[in-house]
Chain A
Amino acid sequence: MLSKVAERVYWAARYLERVESTARMVSIYDTLLFDLPRQINLGWYNLIVINSLEESFHERYSVQDERNVVKFLLGDDTNPGSIVSSLTAIRENIRTTRDVIPGDTWELVNELTQYVQENLNQGINRRHRHEFLDSIIRACQQIMGLWQVSMPRDKAWEILRLGQNIERADMTTRNLDAAVATIAQVEDDDFAVNAHQTIWGNLLRSLSADQPYRRAMRASVKGPLVSRFLMQDAQFPRSLRFCLDDMVAASQALPRSETVIGDIQRLHKTVMARAEDTEPGPELRDVLNDLQIALQYLHFTISSTWFLNEQDAQQAVAQ
């Protein structure tokens, strides 16, 4: 498999995952707003901080209100992680990998892009936002379902799995971070316990994790348990551990994967070493932040192992 094709497949998978995760993240905040007691002043700007987008946000907007934040995350083409930008990136990558990705993907991605462009205002205004985000999530799942049922389990498939899981792991750390950050804003009063439960419950629901959580943990929704579940559960596809395990399996099927597997195993260790038993706070946020940086390094390792071929090319010319 050509390195360039591998790189494009990897990014197509990452961006598709990012579209779905961004839609999910905005929807956490959206439903939270309905559930939380009126006294709690929830900051939409948290979403910008959590995604490390402060700088590019401020180049565009001065007011940190809901409208601007949502617009920036969904429809802003100057934000490379927005849904609109991610879709453009998916299109370009799919266009150039049509020989390894199922042909129908192209049409589905076009449909989704068109839908988002035509209905963007529905997402920005709160009244139809849920419906809008829900349609995006469904369309993403349709594409992933297509891949799942029709792709041969060849190298392209393993690369796709890598892209999907690294993005998913990154987004799980960010979603978890969002919840912890929100809890920090809840004042410690009579409403606090209720509000905490609402926030954790919403986090689980937005990741479609509420039922799996209950089955796996056999307990009510509590901060320490939720964060343990999202980090360490062996079976839930969005838990950090699951994503890392899946990446190891994918890498094992690829050539020259020793360094990549080493990196993933180190990450795995950090994740499994956590033993949350009190309400997560700033300390967990630091860990999540470190994990995000480690995932970024993992990306560099993946890229230099399979995409760049710099060393190979230099060796061939210098022999």
Chain B
Amino acid sequence: MSIDWKQYELEPGFYDELISSPGNPRVPARQLANYLSTLTEDELQSRMLASDATIRDMGVSFTVYTDGENIDRAWPFDIIPRVISANQWEKTAAGLKQRLQALNMFIDDLYHEQRIIKDGIIPEFVLKQSKNYRPECEGIRPRFGVWAHVCGTDLVRDGDGQFYVLEDNLRVPSGVSYMLENRSIMKRVLPEVFEKVSIAPVGDYPEALFNMLASLSPRPGDSPVVAVLTPGIFNSAYFEHAFLAQRMGAELVEGSDLVVGKDDCVYMKTISGLERVDVIYRRIDDLFLDPEVFQPDSVLGVPGLMRAWRKGNVALANAPGAGVADDKVVYAYVPDIIRYYLDQEPLIPNVETFLCYDDKQREYVLANLDKLVVKPANESGGYGMLVGPHSTKKEREHFAELIKANPRNYIAQPTLALSTAPTLVGRSKVEPRHLDLRPFILQGESSYVTTGGLTRVAMKKGSLVVNSSQGGGSKDTWIVG
């Protein structure tokens, strides 16, 4: 049996990325859907095996922590891509650039005049109580006024087919290597479709990332020494750190490979002695960067790194303190932030968000916990959340206590009707599975957005949780013109 799109059971109330009604693929996905339905069950099966083998060969793995042990497991991958029209993507990309520009102006303002607070757009205590505000960064002027150079923004499509921003990851967003690997897998799995459909390439990301990083160098003119700073092999994203370093031709370093000299410059230890480092793409959290300034017991960081950065002798991407805008309370204000700094209307809307510190909004949240998704303001990875419709009474009571005890730390959003896309289940059956999209945005001297991004899929039927740490998988994302 091959795939019969007439038998595809759409979930009522949800937008499907590929199929508009049973048997009818959306325009940009039409050639793909038609091609897939010409494959026999055996052919489909052999494509799936080919993708498994490719993943194994490439060594794509994701480390999951369980009881202190970490295991590598293959990154679950579905061979049916998600398709978006080039037209729609162009608008979305513009919205993403707009958003990151405004966020960078916001961060720069917070560490200088704090005009946005003085002008009463954002209440002062939001900043005062932010876990990610770093007073150590006040007064510093990173190049181009940019603090968040790499941003992973999570987009979701609601029942109405509109893209919404769910969150902005401005600290150390990961996943871009999977976006690139997914494309190489698809080229081996469905080469015939690439001949017929004009699919926009995604492979220029490492180049764009390198150029952006190089533009930050404190020694312009020279060919800058760029390093990727990783916490090491036990970090869940180590694969990606190694991957990006390799693709950019940058050095992959750990804290112990670096030393800050008396001259406040950063050096790496090489077999020829010490060599100065100009730009560090750091993939470790602020608090571990420099034991002289932050956590004194951190062995991941480099003593003196903040000193070197403050003096302008090394560029850090993302800059320390950029995470202040990666806070779900700040998120609720982003549309206002865009209007305030850019004097523009936001091109991509936010998901409706209730702030628990506001008495009225909190009352509403507490009365509707069974319908809402409650999130702590400063967590990532889908941890510490309450998904109302899937929760028990006991869990809801627990969260009500948490919210009352620390209202600033919680926000709530309506449960989204996360869009679906056909996903291969068993040998040749396709069923809808929920997904989101994480494009990556770069900002240095200029801005860049990935072509599409990483599509994450909840592989379990009915599940809305797409995080790779919680059983999510991924699909290739095609921007089709």
- Chain A contact residues, CB within 8 Å of chain B: 1-6, 92, 95-96, 98-99, 106-107, 155, 159, 254-256, 306-307, 309, 312-313, 316-319
Of listed B246, B251, B271, residue having the most chain A CB within 10 A: B271
Chain B contact residues, majority secondary structure: mixed
Residues of chain B lying within 8 A (CB to CB) of residue A159: 271
Within the assembled complex, what's the spacing in Å between the Cα atoms of A3 and B273? 9
B257 touches A4 (CB 8 A): yes
Which of A98, A306, A313, A317 is in CB contact (< 8 Å) with B271? A306
B300 within 8 A of A: no
Within the assembled complex, what's the spacing in Å between the Cα atoms of A255 and B252? 21
Residues of chain B lying within 8 A (CB to CB) of residue A309: 269, 273-274
Extra inter-chain contacts (12) besides given A2-B269, A99-B252, A107-B57, CB under 8 Å: A2-B268, A4-B256, A98-B246, A99-B245, A159-B271, A255-B273, A256-B272, A312-B273, A313-B269, A313-B274, A316-B259, A317-B262
Residues of chain B lying within 8 A (CB to CB) of residue A255: 271-273
B87 within 8 A of A: no
Query: Which parts of B217-272 form the interface with A (CB within 8 Å)?
Result: 233, 242, 245-246, 251-254, 256-257, 259-263, 267-272
Within the assembled complex, what's the spacing in Å between the Cα atoms of A318 and B245? 31
Residues of chain A lying within 8 A (CB to CB) of residue B272: 1, 255-256
Closest-CB distance, B228 to chain A (whole angstroms):
10
A2 touches B262 (CB 8 A): no
Contact A312-B269, Cβ < 8 Å, known A95-B233, A107-B57, A319-B262: yes
Within the assembled complex, what's the spacing in Å between the Cα atoms of A309 and B256? 11
A316 touches B274 (CB 8 A): yes
B262 touches A318 (CB 8 A): yes
Closest-CB distance, A137 to chain B (whole angstroms):
25
Contact A319-B263, Cβ < 8 Å, known A4-B256, A106-B59: yes
Of all chain B residues, the one with the shortest Cβ separation from A107 is: B57
Closest-CB distance, B175 to chain A (whole angstroms):
20
* Interface size classification for chain B: 20 to 34
Closest-CB distance, B181 to chain A (whole angstroms):
13
Within the assembled complex, what's the spacing in Å between the Cα atoms of A256 and B272? 7
Closest-CB distance, A99 to chain B (whole angstroms):
5
Q: Sorted from nearest, which 6 A-B pairs have the closest CB atoms?
A: A316-B261, A309-B269, A255-B272, A306-B271, A319-B262, A99-B246
Within the assembled complex, what's the spacing in Å between the Cα atoms of A255 and B275? 13
- Chain B contact residues, CB within 8 Å of chain A: 57, 59, 233, 242, 245-246, 251-254, 256-257, 259-263, 267-274
A2 touches B59 (CB 8 A): no
Residues of chain B lying within 8 A (CB to CB) of residue A254: 271
Within the assembled complex, what's the spacing in Å between the Cα atoms of A306 and B271? 5
Closest-CB distance, A44 to chain B (whole angstroms):
36
Residues of chain A lying within 8 A (CB to CB) of residue B269: 2-4, 309, 312-313
Within the assembled complex, what's the spacing in Å between the Cα atoms of A316 and B266? 10
Within the assembled complex, what's the spacing in Å between the Cα atoms of A190 and B353? 96
Within the assembled complex, what's the spacing in Å between the Cα atoms of A319 and B262? 6
Of all chain B residues, the one with the shortest Cβ separation from A255 is: B272
Within the assembled complex, what's the spacing in Å between the Cα atoms of A74 and B242? 32
B233 touches A316 (CB 8 A): no
Closest-CB distance, B264 to chain A (whole angstroms):
11
Within the assembled complex, what's the spacing in Å between the Cα atoms of A159 and B254? 20
A155 touches B271 (CB 8 A): yes
Contact A6-B242, Cβ < 8 Å, known A316-B259, A318-B262: no
Within the assembled complex, what's the spacing in Å between the Cα atoms of A107 and B60? 12
Of all chain B residues, the one with the shortest Cβ separation from A103 is: B59
Residues of chain A lying within 8 A (CB to CB) of residue B262: 316-319
Residues of chain B lying within 8 A (CB to CB) of residue A1: 270-272
Residues of chain B lying within 8 A (CB to CB) of residue A107: 57, 59
Closest-CB distance, A162 to chain B (whole angstroms):
11
Of all chain B residues, the one with the shortest Cβ separation from A7 is: B271
Residues of chain A lying within 8 A (CB to CB) of residue B57: 107
A312 touches B274 (CB 8 A): yes
B259 touches A2 (CB 8 A): no
Of all chain A residues, the one with the shortest Cβ separation from B72 is: A95
Residues of chain B lying within 8 A (CB to CB) of residue A317: 259-262
Of all chain B residues, the one with the shortest Cβ separation from A100 is: B246
Contact A3-B271, Cβ < 8 Å, known A316-B262, A317-B262, A319-B262: yes
Residues of chain B lying within 8 A (CB to CB) of residue A316: 259, 261-262, 267, 274
A2 touches B274 (CB 8 A): no
Which of A92, A155, A256, A318 is in CB contact (< 8 Å) with B273? A256
Residues of chain A lying within 8 A (CB to CB) of residue B252: 2, 5, 99
Residues of chain B lying within 8 A (CB to CB) of residue A256: 271-273
Of all chain B residues, the one with the shortest Cβ separation from A156 is: B271
Residues of chain B lying within 8 A (CB to CB) of residue A313: 259, 269, 274
Within the assembled complex, what's the spacing in Å between the Cα atoms of A3 and B256? 11
B261 touches A2 (CB 8 A): no
Residues of chain A lying within 8 A (CB to CB) of residue B271: 1-3, 6, 155, 159, 254-256, 306-307
Residues of chain B lying within 8 A (CB to CB) of residue A99: 242, 245-246, 252
Of all chain A residues, the one with the shortest Cβ separation from B269 is: A309
Within the assembled complex, what's the spacing in Å between the Cα atoms of A3 and B272? 8
Within the assembled complex, what's the spacing in Å between the Cα atoms of A309 and B271? 8
